[in-house]
């Protein structure tokens, strides 16, 4: 495998034996002057093909350590949740973890409420959330609040839901709340809708009102906390 571009000391762009471009993770892969032939494949911990521009940007913005954490969490999730997970989930989860750490650093008092409803409805996803928070706290020597368990659990929950296009769960009890919030918070709705439209365009999915409703709540919570800190 030929290394053709360095992203950072531990992430490089390579060409495989068929000339296909991929991104490879591994400690020290970017230390050598590129291009070079990588012969010791045991140094490679993860590989990804056909990454879009957004994922390449995340590679530049987020530390390799956080990507390693994300990979460990997805591996744990795959062991607990009896569904096939897309490996690219590592990128979206790494982005979430990075945002959570940024929020903790700059807005220490801004905490999401832990949801016991989520814990009861989605026990497997919540187990992954607990595992993720413990792992992040231990490896990065920080103290994420227990509220991040819910955020990570719902991140896994809705990604899985998207992947199961033929069997999307509809939580009709939310329809009245969704319509009320859309009416009362039109700007929040528009922001959430634009985010959902972008995600759908990237993942070739179709976000329903349930997903949009929870995204609106998340956006509203962030706005409220920022306003409180101002």
Higher pLDDT, 214 or 8: 8
Q: What tokens does 51 get?
A: 């990454």
C-beta of residue 161 within 8 angstroms of C-beta of residue 168? yes
What whole-number distance in Å separates Cα of residue 27 and Cα of residue 17? 22
Residue 163 has pLDDT above 50, yes or no: no
Residue 143 has pLDDT above 70, yes or no: yes
Residue 72 has pLDDT above 60, yes or no: yes
Q: What is the pTM of this model?
A: 0.51
What whole-number distance in Å separates Cα of residue 93 and Cα of residue 205? 18
The pLDDT tens digits of the residues spanning 20-36 come to: 998 888 888 999 898 99
Q: Taking residues 111-132, what's their average pLDDT?
A: 71
Q: Taking residues 175-184, what's their average pLDDT?
A: 76
Contacts of 22 (CB under 8 A, 6+ apart): 13, 14, 15, 16, 47, 48, 49
C-beta of residue 80 within 8 angstroms of C-beta of residue 117? no
Which DSSP state fits 82?
Answer: S
Q: What are the E-state strand segments in the chain?
A: 2-8, 11-15, 21-25, 36-37, 46-49
What whole-number distance in Å separates Cα of residue 10 and Cα of residue 130? 28
Residue 3 has pLDDT above 90, yes or no: yes
| pLDDT, mean over the chain | 76
Higher pLDDT, 5 or 142: 5
Confidence of residue 108 (pLDDT cuts 50, 70, 90): low
Tell the burial category of 167 from Cβ atoms under 10 Å away from its Cβ (0-12, 13-18, 19+).
exposed
């Amino acid at each position: 495998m030929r290394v053709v571009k360095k992203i950072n000391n531990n992430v490089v762009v390579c060409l495989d034996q068929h000339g296909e471009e991929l991104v490879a993770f591994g400690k020290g892969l970017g230390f050598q002057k590129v291009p070079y032939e990588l012969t010791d494949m045991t140094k490679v911990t993860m590989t990804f093909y056909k990454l879009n521009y957004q994922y390449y940007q995340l590679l530049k913005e987020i530390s390799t350590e956080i990507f390693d954490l994300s990979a460990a969490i997805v591996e744990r999730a795959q062991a607990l949740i009896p569904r096939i997970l897309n490996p690219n989930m590592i990128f979206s989860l790494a982005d979430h973890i990075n945002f959570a750490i940024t929020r903790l650093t700059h807005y220490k008092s801004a905490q999401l409420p832990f949801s016991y409803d989520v814990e009861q409805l989605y026990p497997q996803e919540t187990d992954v959330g607990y595992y993720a928070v413990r792992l992040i706290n231990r490896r990065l020597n920080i103290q994420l609040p227990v509220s991040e368990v819910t955020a990570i659990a719902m991140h896994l929950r809705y990604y899985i839901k998207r992947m199961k296009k033929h069997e999307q769960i509809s939580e009709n009890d939310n329809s009245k709340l969704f319509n009320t919030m859309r009416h009362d918070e039109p700007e929040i709705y528009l922001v959430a809708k634009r985010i959902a439209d972008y995600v759908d365009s990237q993942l070739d999915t179709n976000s329903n009102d349930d997903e949009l409703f929870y995204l609106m709540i998340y956006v509203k919570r962030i706005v409220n906390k920022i306003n409180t800190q101002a």
